[in-house]
Structure 1
């Protein structure tokens, strides 16, 4: 019998064992993607593949690793079979990986003849073959134009790496030396887990260890269901967009737009994620397979709904149902191209879950502290580069400069600046010196960029600028994922604004100005030795009405360079003037500032902004909220939906408040860094929804021009 003390000891031992495995993989790897950026992860699984322990690196790589194990259990139990010290390799996104560059290796854990679990590791390989170096072909017509996937193969038999299969696997790659080091690191990581799990089975007894697996799954499920039960029943919706130029699209035509639609329904202690309304699959590489959909969707559930709970994804899975339609951009049918899905459609999946989870959490005053706006997406600076090193060797990889975007704001704090992806909490961008060591490039600049964080009562984290040029070579070929250029990606919540957009440009020299009209990246593009590659990562979404942000906090952002003086007025209605500080900022700053807040000017600017929103003088706020929250900005009072700020009666409890809110639209992209515009931006609008009484900003929605307004929430108020 497993008591609570032993359970706590064993679950922490398992977590430590799993963390050791990730460290072994990173230390063994020769690639900056794994060794520096930690574009990897490791898991421990139950006998059926349910994930009981997962690393905190790229979470979306491992949440659904049970699909790989179950494929092996279903197909290989008798032929070829599996036994002690075997290991299986796959990079097949139709089986269980995200895309072909993410290579998974799993190993059964046997104690004697008893299968007690599985170990798994994954990492993004620099190049896994295919027509385009780096493993991603932008204009692929199907998966046959990409790196061909490898279904699960038994690469290690009873502890011996099969030389023939290793040779076949590495022969596909342009970076075979780096791939071999990654592969050996994954094998060593799994072997370490197997050895250490056997050791604790010998110490505590196999039955207690397997019972720990079961209790971790049961307890994670129970905790998650309890949290869901505290939240309001209802349906929450969000729409996100992906731009893509499929093969053969005429040169004069703008990129096609693919829509990802989520309806999240919470009933009791069960969560349904319905993506069936998403667009049909693309004739190209942005499609997500079902495993990719599952990884990003449930990974986002872990991040945004499971704060403070046990992270045993196999237990969370029991309370989540994913509904999708085969043949769509989020659930592609073979042989659709899928290699670029992680940087495009999968990011849209994550943003949809993020936005809907935030609206669900808003219905409970205690759990609302877990609300977080969206982090950056994989922007125009994300992509691959390839070419030839000075010694004649080929290189192909990612710089990972795009993992410098901002995090989403929360009620307790601004978003983390240049913090990367929330679904990759342990991953980061690579140091410039490391990239310069591995690659023939020289960085001119990497810096955080003002006005890129989404405005709000709490500001989204700012994004960053990365500027490099070829060094020691005359030419580098680059390929961009090209997302977030025509419109922003990182949604705000509770009336907060979207984060800033991406920018990508190839400039004629280090000091050249960025032209405001830029072409969208198409396939691969050259960067010559006398040119500079410039990319701006996106900012995180804001939280709450920007006009409610404390002017002192806006001034502090201006002083530190996160917001410009012009941005302070445009985005927050705060007037900044030159002069000395006399009580407008607390003593936490250095006290010798060159700027200050014009208090009367700010009050007048904000009052004018609110009047402009609704066309008349706004009502004053009420002293306190007086109803049950149905959203951060709306209350239910005597079966009427009312503004939480001023109490204005909007509609009946079951009616659609979006039909009575004041709507304002603006075109893209008045907040784009450097004022850059990309062809196709005119197809999108930003919709702002304001209370007709006090002009409080209730919601902000990105939409295609002419698309209907999305009813973001619909609560069961019986």
Structure 2
């Protein structure tokens, strides 16, 4: 596509944006006929048969693949599209793959239909991030389905391969300055021609990998699963006719579009934005970088842009396909989860207007391979924050669809080395356990997984010890503290410790240690957990184990701590070195000082929260036996904490008036509401009833602003010495009457932000 300023989005210099009308070779016949008059029973049978074709496609992948990241994590996605690549069905696996196959198929139609051509029995392979893949380990295999001599539809899958080359084992190359040090990016090539695997192309692909046997079997699983799905669709066509099956496909798309449009009608026109920060663009860098996203709703359509995002740099980039997939993932999880993967109609109502050359829409040759652990999750989290703000302004029934933002990285550890003389790569994805952020009405789910991969699971410790030369000392829940606190708290994550076993050592290629939390809780909720990675060298772990002791704290061991960085180089660890790392507690929702004291007491009684932490974070006073809340002391403590906030805060730039006590307020979320003030729809604070200006303006101008180092909010946020987290601030926008938080965000010092929410 060429946009209005002459920018070419062709998948070469920058990401691929398809033309509204694809340019396809005239010799390729497309099946475009679709029956309109289908009886309801036939419609229902075919519709669910198509859905089950996609389910069986995914189950076939899971059963045939050999890599744990596919078998356990379900790091894959099958789909069915129309002849032109429009999505019909997506599976319950990685949701940010929502448009990868669609974009890749459209690129194939525009660029391969003439040469080498698209024929029955063909399949195409691609892992090019500038075409459709989020990063190079995510490999698309797409198969055209022909009825007679007409291209009827496509089936496709995408899965994360264990290793596809590059400078780092596992192919998350944090040290890559550009694509020429990244794993090879292969634009769509014909891997199967008329039913026969192209040996030369297959060998070219496998030659890049450190684990060619694993990759070979997973590739053949992808090809086989496409063949199964193709056979099932052709059986449907044979039974009901091509026009009927195509009619059901198009009707499913149309119905999902109508459902989404109906929900959009319950959201006022407006503009919502958010910013999220990340640390380091690669080994040796301590910079702080910003990703920004804005959604504008006008009538029955959404426009999305990434203006305000920092320029592309290092290895923390994605191309257009990644940004689009991340946003649509967060949008459909909140607004269309009941459509069972029939998201193509939703996609029709979203237009992405990206700024090229940025971290979230990079131009070639920006490095992209680490995106699967970093930037994709950052953008899903960012998108989730924006969608949550938008839904909070909707009608009450739609407000309940709002969900908290996801963790801003996929906390994982990739290790590797040799086991019994053979190379191995071990992606430890224990963070699939997850910790869902809070919602407007409930606490987040402890160990609740991730909304962007519903079917993903974490491996059992015993399974992982069988697979890899490691011993797991413990895996347990993170405590509840300031991280994730709110009126509703975030779900709990985990902490885990590991040591090499049966081999003298190994290498750690991917790990994460943050010095500030990126994930701010919506409407004044506390940020989620900072991921930690700690490495203790030369410990006495082997002596402890020989004495029959299994240590339950890395701090209790002897040895030296090795300083690490957020995105560091390869670490070589020996037999007595031990590493501990965490997932994350999700973010809170709403001010922690509004949390129900009984909910705080419940967390204390279950052992999730320490009584002293409860008083520090929530100003809830509990008796020494943890039997009851002292309500009088709690009220006094909260009054003192709120007054202290206002004393330390900067006064509002514009002095607000106070709403008439008889005027009704409609709640948005937390302490923010809407009311009619002297004939103008205005933002107001719920408890203090301060009028925060017209709804089409910036309510933060009417708030007291308290900006403090994030680390001042508790030891949970304390960074190591010399780390950039000491420079990062938490900015709270307070009701100038009560001191309760209306909103809050993590910012660089003195950073000016545009309004995060306004109704037009």
Task: Tell me the TM-score normalized by structure 1.
Answer: 0.92
Q: 2:397 aligns with which of 366, 369, 389?
A: 366
**3-state secondary structure, aligned to 1:513:** helix
Residue 584 (structure 1) aligns with: none
Q: Is 1:626 the equivalent of 2:664?
A: yes
1:555 aligns with 2:597: no
Counterpart for residue 436 of structure 1: 465
Q: Is the 1:440–1:472 contact (alpha carbons within 8 Å) kept by the matching residues of 2?
A: yes
Q: 1:650 to 1:276 in 2, by over 3 A?
A: closer
Check conservation: 1:260, 1:345, Cα contact below 8 A.
Answer: no
Distance in 2 (alpha carbons) for counterparts of 1:458 and 1:516: 36
Cα-to-partner distance string for 1:576-631 (whole Å, 9 max, x where unaligned): 2233xxxxxxxxxxxxxx54322322222222222222249xx9999998134555
In 1, Cα distance between the equivalents of 2:561 and 2:393? 42
Q: Does 1:704 align with 2:748?
A: yes
5+ unaligned residues in a row in structure 2: which ranges? 1-36, 540-550, 649-656
Which moves more between the two structures, 260-269 or 619-628?
619-628
2:554–2:580 contact (8 Å) kept in structure 1 = no
Question: Aligned pair 1:602/2:599, yes or no?
Answer: no
Give, in whole Å, the separation in 2 of the partners of 1:695 and 1:217: 48
- Find the aligned partners of 1:85 and 1:642 in 2 and give their Cα distance: 62
2:386 is the alignment partner of 1:356: yes
The match for 2:674 among 611, 620, 635 is 635
Alpha-carbon displacement from aligned partner over 1:275-295 (angstroms, at most 9, x marks no partner): 03211110x221101111111
Aligned partner of 1:425 in structure 2 is 454
1:517 Cα offset (Å): 9.9
Instruction: Determine if the alignment matches structure 1 residue 650 to structure 2 residue 695.
Output: no
Q: Does 1:503 align with 2:532?
A: yes
- Alpha-carbon contact 1:143-1:285 (below 8 Å) kept: no
3-state SS of 2:366 partner: coil
- Tell me, yes or no, if the aligned pair for 2:516 and 2:719 is still in contact at 8 Å: no
Please say if residues 377 and 538 of structure 1, whose CA atoms lie closer than 8 Å, have aligned partners that are also in contact.
Answer: no
2:651: which partner in 1? none
Picking from 708, 720, 724, the partner of 1:680 is 724
Unaligned runs of 5+ in 1: 580-593
1:234 matched residue in structure 2: 270
Distance 2:604 2:752 in 1: 37
Quickly say closer, same or farther: Cα 1:6–1:426, change in 2 above 3 A. same
Match of 1:90 in 2: 126
**How large is the Cα RMSD of the aligned pairs?**
2.5
CA gap of 1:203–1:641, structure 2 versus 1, over 3 A, is same
Distance 1:36 1:132, change over 3 A: same
User: Secondary structure of the residue that 2:407 maps to in structure 1?
Assistant: coil
Question: Does structure 2 conserve the Cα–Cα contact (< 8 Å) formed by 1:630 and 1:715?
Answer: no
Query: Following the alignment from structure 1 to structure 2, what is the Cα–Cα distance between the partners of residues 189 and 573?
Result: 56
Q: Could you give the per-residue CA deviations for residues 121-153 of structure 1, whole angstroms, max 9, x where no partner exists?
A: 111111111221111221111111111112212
- Mapping of residues 450-465 of structure 1, within 5 Å: 450-451=479-480, 454-465=484-495
Name the counterpart of 1:582: none
Is 1:416 the equivalent of 2:449?
A: no
Q: Does 1:306 align with 2:342?
A: no
Aligned counterparts, 1:140-151, within 5 A:
140-151=176-187
Q: 2:564 matched to which residue of 1?
A: 519
Asked if residue 333 in structure 1 is aligned to residue 371 in structure 2, the reply is no
Counterpart in 1 of 2:81?
45
Match of 2:33 in 1: none
Q: Is the 8 A contact 2:434 2:449 kept in 1?
A: yes
Q: Distance in 1 between matches of 2:153 and 2:715?
A: 49
Cα deviation, 1:444-479, whole Å, max 9, x if unaligned, reads 111111126511221111111011111112222113
Deviation at 1:309, TM superposition (A): 4.2
Contact 2:658/2:691, CA 8 A, preserved across alignment? no
Structure 1 match to 2:578: 532
Contact 1:243 1:256 in 2 (8 A): yes
Question: Kindly tell me: are residues 168 and 147 of structure 1, through their superposed partners in 2, closer, same or farther at Cα, counting changes over 3 Å?
Answer: same
- Contact kept in structure 2, 1:487 and 1:684, CA below 8 Å: yes
For 1:326 and 1:709, locate their aligned partners in 2 and report how far apart those are by CA, in whole Å.
Answer: 21
Which residue of 2 is the match for residue 279 of structure 1? Answer: 310
Contact 2:64 2:218 in 1 (8 A): yes
The 1:623/1:478 distance shift into structure 2, 3 A limit, reads: farther
2:442 counterpart of 1:403:
no
Q: CA deviation at 1:51?
A: 1.2
Counterpart-to-counterpart distance in 2, 1:372 and 1:296: 15
Helix, strand or coil for the counterpart of 2:431?
coil
Deviation at 1:512, TM superposition (A): 3.6
Distance 1:173 1:512 in 2: 35
- Distance of 1:323 and 1:354 partners within structure 2: 18
Give me the whole-angstrom Cα distance separating, in 1, the residues matched to 2:42 and 2:715.
Answer: 55
- Equivalence for 1:690: 734
The answer (yes or no) to whether the contact 1:459–1:543 under 8 Å persists in 2 is yes
Aligned length: 692
Q: Equivalences for 1:548-587 in 2 at 5 Å?
A: 548-579=594-625
Deviates more, 1:549-558 or 1:396-405: 396-405
From 192, 208, 220, the counterpart of 1:156: 192
2:706 corresponds to: 664
Q: Deviations over 1:29-52 (max 9, x none)?
A: 111111111111111111111111
- When residues 118 and 480 of structure 1 are mapped into structure 2, their CA distance, relative to the original with a 3 A threshold, is same
The whole-number CA distance in structure 1 between the counterparts of 2:699 and 2:171 is: 47
Query: Taking structure 2 as the reference length, what is the TM-score of the superposition?
Result: 0.87
Contact 1:63 1:299 in 2 (8 A): no
Q: Say whether the 8 Å CA contact 2:273–2:294 is kept in structure 1.
A: yes
Report how far residue 361 of structure 1 moved.
0.9
| Residue pair 1:622, 1:645 contacting (<8 A) in 2 also | no
Q: Is the 8 A contact 1:517 1:677 kept in 2?
A: no
Measure how far apart 1:421 and its partner are: 2.7
The alpha-carbon deviation at position 158 of structure 1 amounts to: 2.2
Bigger shift: 120-129 or 687-696? 687-696
Q: Does the CA-based 8 Å contact 1:358-1:373 persist in structure 2?
A: yes
Secondary structure of the equivalent of 1:78? helix
Give 2:34's aligned residue. Answer: none
Displacement of 1:342: 2.7
1:420–1:487 distance in 2 versus 1, CA, 3 Å: farther
How many Å apart are 1:420 and its aligned residue?
3.3
1:713 matched residue in structure 2: 757
Separation in 1, partners of 2:663, 2:174? 51
CA offset at residue 653 of structure 1? 4.0
Partner SS state of residue 612, structure 1:
helix
Q: Does 1:346 align with 2:391?
A: no
C-alpha distance 571-629 of structure 1, shift in aligned 2 (>3 A): same
Decide whether the 8 Å contact of 1:15 with 1:53 is kept in 2. Answer: yes
User: Given the superposition, is the C-alpha separation of residues 672 and 207 from structure 1 closer, same or farther in structure 2, using an over 3 Å criterion?
Assistant: farther
Deviation of 1:355 after TM superposition, in Å, equals: 1.2
Is this contact kept in 1: 2:292–2:307, CA < 8 A?
Answer: yes
Q: Distance in 1 between matches of 2:111 and 2:343?
A: 24
